[in-house]
């Protein structure tokens, strides 16, 4: 079995980054919430090493989370990070106090001594940049530990018990603001824990194919293709696993970008030779959207219509035993919640929600263990074109939420598609596509006066949006230079009939959202 590392989550905002760094070091890892981990579950999981994450609680408070003592009795290496360090120290007989010297953001660690964790990057006597975020701090160590690093606010910023292979740091090695953090984590997984480093997408491909074959047997599988990365990778993987037992259904809503529907057919039917049903349902979708302008109403209509069409097409091909879905690991991780209560719905992202319940099929979810960047890597392994694998995220309701405040008509969709194509073409030509999380045009519900040649124009304004982000939860607008923006603006106004004004959206998220609706 592949070596695996268990990350016990105490609720830090950045726990997922620990898992990603571990996996980037070639080792499989999973995140389990602290309150679900028991001595029995630890034994059953059989980790090669354990990492305790940070978290918002204080070990000095009453009834705050602890790791099961079993963690320290299994004979496996343990790495504690921030809260994880504090609970490790408290549980093993050291002391933690509520510090009056809080450290947030960049800090410096003086390397007091060499240790396995620092191998190849940090040396005794050095001063290293890290990222801190803590109020409490360790003030005395349990038996068997030594100090290997200290900072102004944390006299025990890095500690080690070499014999037991317990290490703990007050700073966050998982974030990019700790420049050598990834190497420290890799030292833990390889040098300390002795993991093999064989978690690669090439290896995963083989395992996932075996698992799908085992699950599906001789059953039939249906898979909804959207043209996005996740469903494309699911389809390619399933095709390799079960060939003709797979049928893909591509519901063309008419709300995709220019050329995307054609590309899906070209790649999957013509190149991969997959059984593909291409249903052009654009008339139906546009008919249902007629006269609608409210964003949530549009989302609901599109979601429900999608399910109807998909269901009908699935019946037409004779049904199936399984429904394949591109669920990813971040959708699966159970989050630790300290603040109860429902959160406010900003946008209901339910495009195909309800499909599995309605269709009464078993689910095949071969990407459940993967992060997005791993899915992309797997897509490359499977031979999907880079243009598909590296594609920016695209919302389920598509261009319908990029024509805010006015009815979705074919004419407006055509105008928007043309502007969008030019914008993305210029972004690609400038070599910026991969530095941007998402870029698109929004057709604004306003006509403005312009002068073109000698005549007056009265046409739409369009907004350009481009943001950087790591997960879509927060985002910054992309700082294009003026010459780029002016080139795009000129081209759109000259080449797209119907638009005579271009603006650039300089709102970050929060307070804005990425899409306008």
Q: Which is nearer to ligand XMP, 137 or 257 (CB)?
A: 257
User: Please, are residues 386 and 346 in contact by the beta-carbon 8 Å criterion?
Assistant: no
* Residue 271: CB atoms within 10 Å: 12
Q: Where are the alpha helices (DSSP H) in 64-187?
A: 83-91, 181-186
Among positions 124, 213, 349, 358, the unique one binding ligand XMP when judged by CB under 6 A: 349
Asked if 515 touches ligand XMP (CB under 6 A), the answer is yes
Instruction: Tell me the window of 32-40, 286-294, 373-381, 388-396 that interacts with ligand XMP (CB under 6 A).
Output: 388-396
Site for ligand XMP in 414-443 (CB under 6 A): 438
Q: Which is nearer to ligand XMP, 206 or 510 (CB)?
A: 510
Overall size of the chain counted in residues: 517
Count Cβ neighbours within 10 Å for each residue of 436-459 and write b for 16 or more, e otherwise: bbbbbbbbbeeeeeeeeeeeebeb
Asked if 347 touches ligand XMP (CB under 6 A), the answer is yes
Asked if 505 touches ligand XMP (CB under 6 A), the answer is no
Among positions 396, 463, 466, 499, the unique one binding ligand XMP when judged by CB under 6 A: 396
Rounded Cα distance, 93 and 70, in Å: 15
Q: How far is the CB of 416 from ligand XMP (least distance, A)?
A: 15
Asked if 393 touches ligand XMP (CB under 6 A), the answer is yes
Maximal CA-CA distance, the chain: 86
Q: Which is nearer to ligand XMP, 247 or 438 (CB)?
A: 438
Asked if 326 touches ligand XMP (CB under 6 A), the answer is no
β-strands 127-140, 362-364: how paired? unpaired
DSSP-derived letter for residue 58 is -
Among positions 98, 406, 435, 513, the unique one binding ligand XMP when judged by CB under 6 A: 513
Instruction: Tell me the window of 82-90, 173-181, 394-402, 422-430 that interacts with ligand XMP (CB under 6 A).
Output: 394-402
In the residue annotation, 82 being an active-site residue is answered as yes
- Given phi > 0 = left and psi -120 to 50 = alpha, else beta, which region is 45? alpha
Among 390, 355, 394, 387, which Cα is nearest to 372's?
390
- Binding string, 273-302, against ligand XMP, x = CB under 6 A? --------------------------x---
Among 488, 481, 508, 497, which Cα is nearest to 441's?
488
In the residue annotation, 517 being an active-site residue is answered as no
User: Please, are residues 30 and 334 in contact by the beta-carbon 8 Å criterion?
Assistant: no
Site for ligand XMP in 188-207 (CB under 6 A): none
List, edge to edge, every strand of the sheet that includes 362-364. 275-280, 246-252, 221-225, 322-324, 362-364
Among positions 245, 305, 351, 500, the unique one binding ligand XMP when judged by CB under 6 A: 351
Q: Which is nearer to ligand XMP, 162 or 515 (CB)?
A: 515
Number of residues that bind ligand XMP (CB under 6 A): 14
Site for ligand XMP in 455-494 (CB under 6 A): 472
Q: How far is the CB of 246 from ligand XMP (least distance, A)?
A: 23
Token output for 91: 């549980």
Asked if 514 touches ligand XMP (CB under 6 A), the answer is yes
Rounded Cα distance, 122 and 160, in Å: 15
Among positions 109, 397, 441, 480, the unique one binding ligand XMP when judged by CB under 6 A: 397
DSSP-derived letter for residue 286 is H
Selecting among 134, 172, 190, 239, the annotated active-site residue is: 172
Selecting among 116, 128, 174, 260, the annotated active-site residue is: 174
Q: How far is the CB of 140 from ligand XMP (least distance, A)?
A: 46
Question: Taken in order 229, 231, 232, 236, is the CA torsion positive or negative?
Answer: positive
3-class state of residue 464 by DSSP: strand
In the residue annotation, 177 being an active-site residue is answered as no
β-strands 438-452, 362-364: how paired? unpaired
Selecting among 32, 82, 103, 517, the annotated active-site residue is: 82
> Which positions are annotated as active-site residues?
82, 172, 174
Write out the residues near ligand XMP by the rule CB under 6 A. Answer: 299, 347, 349, 351, 393, 395-397, 438, 472, 509, 513-515
């Amino acid at each position: 079995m592949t070596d695996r590392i268990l990350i016990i989550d105490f609720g830090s905002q950045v726990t997922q980054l620990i898992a990603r760094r571990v996996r980037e070091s070639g080792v499989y890892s999973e995140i389990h919430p602290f309150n679900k981990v028991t001595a029995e579950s630890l034994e059953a999981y059989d980790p090669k090493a354990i990492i305790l994450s940070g978290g918002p609680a204080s070990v000095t408070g009453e009834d705050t989370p602890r790791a099961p003592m079993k963690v320290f009795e299994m004979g496996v290496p343990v790495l504690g990070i921030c809260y994880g360090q504090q609970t490790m120290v408290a549980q093993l007989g050291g002391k933690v106090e509520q510090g009056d010297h809080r450290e947030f953001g960049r800090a410096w660690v003086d390397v007091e001594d060499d240790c396995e964790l620092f191998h190849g990057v940090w040396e005794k006597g050095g001063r290293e940049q890290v990222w801190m975020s803590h109020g409490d701090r360790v003030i005395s160590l349990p038996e068997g530990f030594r100090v290997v690093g200290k900072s102004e606010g944390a006299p025990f910023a890095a500690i080690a018990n070499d014999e037991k292979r317990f290490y703990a740091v007050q700073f966050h090695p998982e974030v990019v603001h700790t420049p050598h953090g990834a190497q420290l984590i890799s030292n833990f997984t390889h040098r300390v824990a002795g993991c093999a480093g064989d978690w690669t997408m090439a290896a995963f491909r083989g395992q996932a194919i075996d698992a799908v074959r085992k699950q599906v047997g001789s059953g039939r599988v249906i898979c909804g293709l959207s043209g996005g990365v996740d469903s494309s990778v699911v389809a390619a993987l399933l095709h390799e696993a079960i060939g003709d037992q797979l049928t893909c259904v591509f519901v063309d809503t008419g709300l995709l970008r220019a050329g995307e529907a054609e590309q899906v057919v070209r790649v999957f039917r013509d190149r991969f030779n997959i059984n593909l049903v291409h249903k052009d349902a654009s008339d139906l979708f546009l008919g249902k959207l007629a006269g609608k302008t409210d964003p949530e109403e549009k989302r609901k209509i599109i979601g429900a219509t999608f399910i109807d069409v998909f269901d009908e097409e699935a019946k037409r091909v004779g049904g199936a035993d399984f429904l394949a879905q591109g669920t990813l690991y971040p959708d699966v991780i159970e989050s630790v919640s300290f603040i109860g209560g429902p959160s406010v719905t900003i946008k209901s992202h339910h495009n195909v929600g309800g499909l599995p319940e309605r269709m009464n099929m078993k689910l095949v979810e071969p990407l459940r263990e993967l992060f997005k960047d791993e899915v992309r890597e797997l897509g490359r392994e499977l031979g999907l074109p880079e243009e598909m694998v590296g594609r920016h995220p695209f919302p389920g309701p598509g261009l319908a939420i990029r024509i805010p405040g006015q009815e979705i008509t074919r004419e407006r969709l055509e105008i928007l598609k043309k502007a969008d194509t030019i914008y993305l073409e210029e972004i690609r030509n400038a070599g910026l596509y991969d530095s941007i999380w998402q870029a698109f045009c929004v057709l604004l519900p306003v006509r403005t006066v312009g002068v073109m040649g000698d005549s007056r124009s009265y046409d739409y304004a369009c907004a350009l949006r481009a943001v950087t982000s790591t997960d879509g939860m927060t985002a910054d607008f992309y700082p294009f230079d003026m010459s780029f923006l002016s080139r795009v603006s000129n081209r759109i106004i000259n080449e797209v009939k119907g638009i005579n004004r271009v603006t650039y959206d300089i709102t970050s998220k929060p307070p804005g959202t990425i899409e306008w609706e």
